[in-house]
Amino acid sequence: LFFKGFWLALTTTAAFSHLQFQKHCCFCFCGCKGKFVLVESIPVGVEFNSSTPHQSIYETWLSLISEAQRSLDIASFYWTLTNKDTQTQEPTASQGEKILQELAQLSRKISVRIAVSTPSETQPKDDIKLLADSGAEVRTVNMRELTSGVLHTKFWVIDKKHIYIGSANMDWRSLTQVKELGAVVYNCSCLASDIGKIFEAYWFLAQSKTVPSPWPSQYTTLYNKDTPMQLLLNGTDSRVYLSSSPPSLCADGRTSDLQAILSIIRDAQQFVYIAVMNYLPTMEFSSPKRYWAAIDTELRRVAYERTVRVRLLISCWNSSSPFMFPFLRSLASVQDSRSKLDIQVKIFLVPASPSQKEIPYARVNHNKYMVTDKVAYIGTSNWSGDYFVNTAGSALVVNQTSAQSTGPTVQEQLQSVFERDWDSSYSIQLNHNTNLKDVCEPQATQYSDL
């Protein structure tokens, strides 16, 4: 009895100390010396006057596949790496087909696990079947039953030491016909282990009828917005954490995606730049209609209370919600030089040749990131309420502002991408006089069909 009492006291003290450590330490040391690389997909025909092109997502995925020695875990929304779904015979689908072939070959050699949102009846399943037949373990996650959302996350974990996260789906269009942005972190087992816990949660949910509450201890994390991991990225001291949505999928210690976004906006002192495909202060897919203004309110607040400069770069294409633009115009109206109110909105339009217009769900800026004077945020979600309340997503948050850097910081790199796009000919200022019918209809480009 004495020993049982002693052990209970000891474990209680240890647990209390762990919680106190999480509460009071300003960061948690990781020890990684990782390499951060910003990667992009630039649609065929889109050209920028930029002297610093980034590695393509296609090249990045091929490289990660070739480097994988023991394991590859992929969290994904859907799979259409071949061109069977469009029946357009588009030559640029070859990059997606190459990725699928390489993944199939890899699945015969090492452990490949794929967590994918349960496909609808109309969604193609050929890619998933091919990979499963090649030896990959595939689990479908029925988020509609679990949270009434979908699994919208897009990340890779390689050999438990490299990670990729970003906006690109496992879709051939994401490599050549859609504008995407992501990040790779090489040689950081701490970060890979932490995002691996998010993957393991999806893996578990694929065989569960309910979401655990609370989550078992193996899914908890030390790393969050209050206690980020401290590590070296590109030789620079960095504070990093991973956020996740919805809150019901966040185990103890994990910052929810919405709380990450709100805290980043609150901490900004000079500017907040946001590039997302969709932005709506509503529950976009709910019935009856529901207003949802958490992010919208925070942007207005920092613009008013601290004269923070706010810029939103939003996409416009044939799948855009018509409700989005009245709300965006409302935000853009918070502009007055005398009061130092400065919120601006631009629409980013990806041009299309006549043949490219025939490709469904293509020719759009699919980016999902935010950058401030302090933080770089690279996510997988669109910005409407559903994505933070019901749908599974994730994000990488990096802060390097407290350290000296010999090269451009992650934040500076992402800021350069935003400013390149903002100042480009593909961006059009949104105001009350903007004719969206003219703006959102992709104009034929001057180059020949590819």
User: How many other CB atoms are found less than 10 A from the CB of residue 171?
Assistant: 25
Choosing from 152, 161, 197, 225, which is the catalytic residue? 152
Secondary structure (3-state) at 437: helix
CA–CA–CA angle 203, 175, 443 (5° rounding): 130
User: How many other CB atoms are found less than 10 A from the CB of residue 410?
Assistant: 26
Choosing from 73, 85, 159, 296, which is the catalytic residue? 159
Dihedrals φ, ψ of 186, to 5°? Answer: -95, 145
- The span from the CA of 255 to the CA of 261, in Å, is 10
Q: Is 23 considered catalytic here?
A: no
- The span from the CA of 81 to the CA of 84, in Å, is 9
- The span from the CA of 27 to the CA of 21, in Å, is 10
Choosing from 226, 252, 342, 373, which is the catalytic residue? 373
Q: Which segments within 213-295 are labelled E, that is strand?
A: 229-233, 236-245, 271-276
Q: Are 364 and 258 in contact (CB under 8 A)?
A: no
Q: Which amino acid is at 130?
A: L
Secondary structure (3-state) at 64: helix
Could you tell me which of 391, 405, 341, 136 has the C-alpha nearest to residue 381? 391
Choosing from 162, 368, 386, 421, which is the catalytic residue? 368
Could you tell me which of 39, 319, 362 has the C-alpha nearest to residue 172? 362
Q: Is 152 considered catalytic here?
A: yes
Question: Between 257-267 and 294-305, two packed helices, what is the crossing angle to 10 degrees?
Answer: 10
Q: Is 368 considered catalytic here?
A: yes
Q: Is 437 considered catalytic here?
A: no
Choosing from 54, 197, 346, 366, which is the catalytic residue? 366
Please give the structure tokens belonging to residue 147: 């949270």
Q: Is 366 considered catalytic here?
A: yes
Residue 175's Cβ-side half-sphere holds a number of Cα atoms within 13 Å equal to: 25
Choosing from 54, 154, 162, 346, which is the catalytic residue? 154
Q: How many residues does the chain have?
A: 450
Q: Is 4 considered catalytic here?
A: no
Residues catalogued as catalytic: 152, 154, 159, 366, 368, 373
